[in-house]
Structure formats: C-alpha cells, structure tokens
Amino acid sequence: MAFFLASLATIISVVDPVGIAPLFLALTPGVLPAERTRVIRRAIVVATIVLLAFAAGGRTLLSSLGITVPAFSIAGGILLLLIAVDMLFARKSRTRETPEEEAEALKSTDISVFPLAIPILSGPGAIATVVLYMSQAGTDAWKVIAVIVAILISLVASYLSMQLSTLLLRVLGETGVHVIGRVMGILLAALAVQFVLNGVATYYHQSLAR
C-alpha cells in the first residue's frame, strides 16, 4: 500500500490534472464542447499508450543502454526536483512544454496528440517517473500492478479535469489552482530528494558488495 500511495502521489503530481485545466482551455479557444470531448479522449488514449509502453519496456531500455537503476533514480530525482521548483513558483515547466511548442500548438487544428498527449500528459517527467517506479517494482507483480493503476488513476483524473475545466476554474480560480500546485510541488520536491538519496544509497551499497 505504501508503494502504491507513493507512486500515485508522484505520478499525479507530475501529470498535474488540476494544472492541466487552464492550459487545456488556453489551447482550445472557441472549440465546440463535442469536439473538445473528442480531443480529450484521443489525448488520453495516446498518453495511456505512451506511459504503459514505457512501463512495460523501460527497464529493458535502461539495460540496453547500460544505465543502472541507481543512476536513473538520481537523474529522475533531479528532473522531478526541477518540475517541483516550477510548481512551487507557479511557473510553466519547460520539461512539459517549451514556448515554441506552445506557439505551434495554438496554430494547430488538432492538439490531441501534440502537445496535449505528448508532452503535456506524458512528458519527460511522467515517463521518467513511470520507468523509475517500474524499476523499483522489479518482478513484484503487486508493485507492477500498483504503478499501472497509479498511471490510470492519474490519466482518469486528467480526463475529468479537462472535461470540467471551465467549472473547475470558476470554482477554484487562478489562485486556487496555483495553491494546489504549490502544495503538490512541496510533496513532489520531497519525493524527488528521496529518489536521489535512494539512488546514492543503492549505488554505495552495490559498490561495497563488489
């Protein structure tokens, strides 16, 4: 249960369903509700495929590149810490979408795949988090299932947030969204530091065992 809660908290913090609401509204000005629903569904499907693909093949990819789990844990922790800092200061994270990508998205007629699915929903931070937790899960079937369930819950929350984006912004307001983002940023920062500490500790123990 502790592993599931930790993976859910981290993945949902990185995906940031509440923070997606104002971004989605900005990317879909003047779009009819029916078309918005189709865009959301396509984006969620693509993001699910991407994240589950990395969940299934992430460890194999790391092994083929000669990257150890401690090294990836440290790198993933640093990346998540950068995202957390942006969340704490209510800044748009460049690990999710660059200004150039945002400008291109505003000109696009279909934003479901780019930039909504990739890189907003399934960006480098989300991919790194999924691979990191799958590496920690190892061959433990329950932990693997926990990560997959955490991914699905995060994407379902994102789906609901985008569907209810207008109402959500009306209730919370920009200030409310930023407050929630800062709270999640603090939690994510602590988890990021823990990833780095775990990576250093594991590498140290492995070095002693040699």
| Residue 93 DSSP one-character state | P
pTM, whole model, 2 decimals?
0.79
Longest CA–CA separation in the chain, Å: 62
Share of the chain above pLDDT 90, in %: 34
Asked if residue 77 has pLDDT above 80, the reply is yes
Please write the tens of the pLDDT for every residue from 93-119: 555 556 665 565 555 557 888 888 988
Predicted pLDDT at 85: 86
Amino acid 101: pLDDT: 59
Q: pLDDT by residue (tens digit) across 132-147?
A: 999 899 889 999 999 9
For 163-196, write each residue's pLDDT tens digit: 998 888 888 887 887 788 888 888 888 888 988 8
Q: Percent of the chain scored above 70 by pLDDT?
A: 90
**Domains of the chain, residue spans:** 2-209
